[in-house]
Structures are given as C-alpha cells and as structure tokens.
Amino acid sequence: MRIAVMATCLGDAVAPQAVRATVELLERLGHDVVFPPGQTCCGQMHVNTGYLREALPVVRHATEVFGPVADGEWDAVVAPSGSCTGCVRHQHAMVARRGGDEALAVRAEAVAARTYELSELLVDVLGVTDVGAYYPHRVTYHPTCHSLRMLRVGDKPLQLLRAVRGLELVELPDAEVCCGFGGTFALKNADTSTAMLADKMSAVLSTGAEVCSAGDSSCLLHIGGGLGRLRTGVRTVHLAEVLASTEATQTPSARSLAAGVAAGVPRTETGEDPAADPTEEAPV
C-alpha cells in the first residue's frame, strides 16, 4: 500500500520520534510511505479554541496537501494521533461549511474518508494485530479521549499491544478519564488541568509500569511533563514507538531506555548529531 504520513505539527516539530516510528513500522510491514512536504497542521488548535474563521485557510491548506488520497494517488493517510485524525474526520467539513465553502467541505470529507489513526490503519485497513514487535517492558496504556470517543478505536491499540513480544500490559485504573490536556485548556484552565493530571499520574503510578503509552503525542507530552517534573522515572512512549521496536532496536544499549531518563524527553536529545542515532542503521 502507498501510505502518506500526516506528521501533525506537534509530531513534526516536538515529537518526531512518533512520526519516525510510524514510518519505520509501516515500511517494516512492507508498505510504501510518503511524506507530503507541504504539510503543516490540521487546524485543530484553531478550531478547538474557537477560531473557526482562522481555521478555514488552515483546513483548506491541509485538504490541498492531502487531497491526492481522495484521487487515489495514495491508498491512505495515517496520523500517529487520535485527535488530529478526529479533527480531520469530524471538524474539517464543519469548518468549511461554516465558512460557506461547500466545495471544500465535500473535498475534505473525501480526504477524511481515507485518513486513519495508526491503530485504525493497522487493524481495520491492513488487517494486522501482530506487527512483529518486541518490547520487553511493563507498559500501561492510556486511551486518549479523541481516539476513544471521537474515533471509537475501542480496544484496537490494546489488541496491538497484547501481540507485542516481551511486553507486560498492565491495566490503567480509570483509564478512560481525560488526562487534562485538552489543547489550550491546559493553559486557559491550568489549575483544573493540573488537578486532572495529578489524578492521571496517580493512576499511572499505581500500576507500577515503567512506561505509559498512548496514541497521541500531545497527551503524552502532558502526562510525561507531569511525571518528569515529579522525577517518577516512568517514561511516556508513543504507541508507534512500541510497535516499531524489535529485537534489533532493543540492542544492549537499549536506546530508548537511555534516552528516556526523564519522561517525555525525545530520544534525540542524547546525541547532538541525529545521524549518530542507531535507528538510522536499522534495516527497514
């Protein structure tokens, strides 16, 4: 399959490790992955902060960049994010219609029909639950709100995690409760957001897991930012990174462990030269 990756603005600039893992995973499964260079952002921040007029040109740009999927040039678009996929699927056409652009709305719906969150793509489109990953760690999984209640991914991420060799999956108490991120909510209602984060961190810590995984880098940044501040030693790792891991990447230096002293810290921070990153030599 020919699959275009939607890195998302956050994934591109702040959490590239999840995007890289998505690309490596899909290539390992034998697919042809492209990275549309014009991509920027899905517009979710504008939409969810109430800037629907400002969001319109952002939605138009995203629809142009990912338009080829509607024309059959690619088979699918994948994003390592439930909330960005949710924005494309449930908000792009709304923004267009509210802005009076029906043609854009129709085009956006056609793009949305072939845009998938990673676990959806793997389980529903590619029909695979065992991706051949190896990840010998105790992991708990936080189902992010938009993947759960906007996209209804259900237990697809858990099906994928259960098939990972070496991985010990521990149930997260009150898993379906929001971590308190909510985009600009974390800034505009920082106190309430922090109170929610505190409860999510308690739940994560109660599992005794080494790693808290999820399908959204934004939520992981939030949870990881809190766990790191408290020096809990629990790392946050995107679902794509877990699924991309194999025996080959789990070398004695255990690169992800070395990189993850503090939660939420991207791997690249251990080496100034990205070319020195051992994953680059991993077979794809």
Partner 1 sequence: MSTTDLPTPTVRPAHAPAGTGHLRGTRPFPAEARDALANTQLRRNLGKATGVIRAKRAAVVDEVPDWEALRRSGSAIKADVMARLPELLEQLEAAVTARGGVVHWARDAAEANAIVLDLVRAAGGDEVVKVKSMATQETGLNEALEAGGVAAWETDLAELIVQLGDDRPSHILVPAIHRNRSEIREIFLREMPDVDPDLTDEPRRLAMAARTHLRRKFLGAKVAVSGANFAVADTGTLSVVESEGNGRMCLTLPETLITLMGVEKVVPTWSDLEVFLQLLPRSSTGERMNPYTSTWTGVTPGDGPQAFHLVLMDNGRSGVLADPDGREALHCIRCSACLNVCPVYERAGGHAYGSVYPGPIGAVLSPLLTGITGEDDVNASLPYASSLCGACFDACPVRIDIPNLLVQQRAASVESHHRPTGQDVAMRAARVAMTSAGRFRAAEKGLGLGRVLGGRSGRITALPWPASRWTASRDVPVPPAETARDWFARTRPGRER
Torsion of CA 258, 228, 208, 153, to 10 degrees: -90
Closest to partner 1 by CB, 162 or 254: 254
Closest to partner 1 by CB, 94 or 163: 94
CB of 218 to partner 1, least distance (A): 11
Please tell me what DSSP assigns to residue 125: I
Closest to partner 1 by CB, 164 or 214: 214
CB of 256 to partner 1, least distance (A): 14
CB of 233 to partner 1, least distance (A): 13
In sequence order, the 6+-apart residues with CB closer than 8 A to the CB of 253 are 278
CB of 33 to partner 1, least distance (A): 8
CB of 34 to partner 1, least distance (A): 5
φ, ψ of residue 127 in degrees (nearest 5): 65, 35
CB of 175 to partner 1, least distance (A): 12
Closest to partner 1 by CB, 2 or 138: 2
CA distance to 128, 173, 233, per residue, from 225 (Å):
32, 20, 12
Q: How far apart are the first and last CA of the chain?
A: 15
Closest to partner 1 by CB, 37 or 252: 37
Give all strands of the β-sheet with 2-5 in edge-to-edge order: 32-34, 2-5, 76-79, 115-117
Give all strands of the β-sheet with 168-170 in edge-to-edge order: 168-170, 138-141, 211-214, 235-238
Closest to partner 1 by CB, 246 or 279: 279
* CA 5 distance to own-chain centroid: 11
